[in-house]
């Protein structure tokens, strides 16, 4: 695409006529076929703590800035504090087949003025990890953000967190680089890997998600017929 030039002949960013900052995400629940996302609240603490306890060695907390939580009281105190914030804005992932709360995720670094929003604070219990329900939750969060008019949807993780980096690419995020010595987490250095999806990429990625999540994509044993990573990669290529 040829660059846009100003009156001085200098290349400048493409115009965005009529663009307006989107609204701040609402706390309203998001309904999917497999899961429901609802605002994190104190009444979720007991079920979430029980689900998290299935991760006996605390692996799910290694790269998060908090946890593990050895007691229900300590986890409830964290929920009480976290549920009062608007940024991050956290949701509980509820398994619709059981009604059980199985994980947490949500938005952070919400900047309507720039049309930028990040997904994170993903604390997935073993009941949620590597399930279609976990993917549907990511789809629902993306759908709300882009539906509101956000232009940029970010994913960031510790550069050493290989499962998170693989997940970002599978979900259709594009790797943008590493910020060295970006933060200190649990008295450790963290180099942060940056990924993002833009609003121009979302329509094709949305179709890829919907194709993958369709019941016909799973056989009688629940095994996927098509890989999401292949569908999102093709979507980004324009295939």
- pLDDT tens digits in sequence order for the chain, 239 residues long: 788 999 999 999 999 999 999 999 998 999 999 999 999 999 999 999 999 999 999 999 999 999 999 999 999 999 999 999 999 999 999 999 999 999 999 999 999 999 999 999 999 999 999 999 999 999 999 999 999 999 999 999 999 999 999 999 999 999 999 999 999 999 999 999 999 999 999 999 999 999 999 999 999 999 999 999 999 999 999 96
With residue 196 as reference, give the H or E element that holds it.
Answer: strand 188-198
Assigned fold of 29-237: Aminopeptidase (3.40.630)
Could you read off the pLDDT of 42-61 as tens digits, one per residue? 999 999 999 999 999 999 99
- The strand order across the sheet containing 174-185 reads 30-31, 35-39, 89-95, 101-111, 116-124, 152-158, 188-198, 174-185
- Tell me the pTM: 0.95
Could you read off the pLDDT of 131-166 as tens digits, one per residue? 999 999 999 999 999 999 999 999 999 999 999 999
Q: How many other CB atoms sit within 10 Å of the CB of residue 35?
A: 26
Domain extent listing, the chain: 29-237
> What is the C-alpha separation between 5 and 36, in angstroms, rounded?
47
**Cis geometry, peptide bond prior to residue 88 (ω within 30 degrees of 0):** yes
């Amino acid at each position: 695409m040829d660059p846009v030039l100003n009156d001085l002949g200098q290349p400048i960013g493409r115009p965005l006529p009529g663009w307006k900052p989107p609204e701040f995400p609402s706390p309203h629940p998001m309904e999917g076929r497999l899961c429901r996302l609802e605002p994190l609240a104190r009444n979720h603490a007991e079920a979430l703590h029980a689900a998290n306890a299935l991760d006996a060695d605390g692996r799910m907390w290694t790269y998060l800035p908090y946890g593990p939580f050895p007691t229900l009281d300590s986890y409830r105190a964290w929920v009480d504090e976290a549920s009062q914030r608007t940024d991050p804005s956290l949701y509980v992932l509820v398994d619709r087949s059981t009604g059980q709360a199985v994980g947490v995720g949500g938005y952070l670094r919400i900047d309507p003025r720039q049309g930028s929003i990040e997904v994170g604070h993903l604390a997935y219990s073993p009941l949620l990890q590597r399930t279609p329900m976990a993917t549907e939750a990511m789809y629902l969060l993306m759908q709300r953000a882009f539906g509101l008019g956000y232009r940029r949807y970010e994913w960031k993780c510790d550069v050493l967190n290989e499962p998170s980096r693989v997940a970002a690419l599978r979900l259709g995020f594009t790797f943008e680089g590493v910020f060295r010595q970006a933060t200190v987490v649990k008295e450790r250095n963290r180099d942060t890997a940056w990924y993002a999806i833009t609003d121009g990429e979302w329509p094709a990625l949305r179709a890829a998600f919907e194709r993958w999540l369709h019941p016909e994509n799973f056989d009688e044993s629940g095994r996927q017929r098509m890989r999401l990573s292949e569908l999102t990669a093709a979507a980004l290529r324009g295939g």
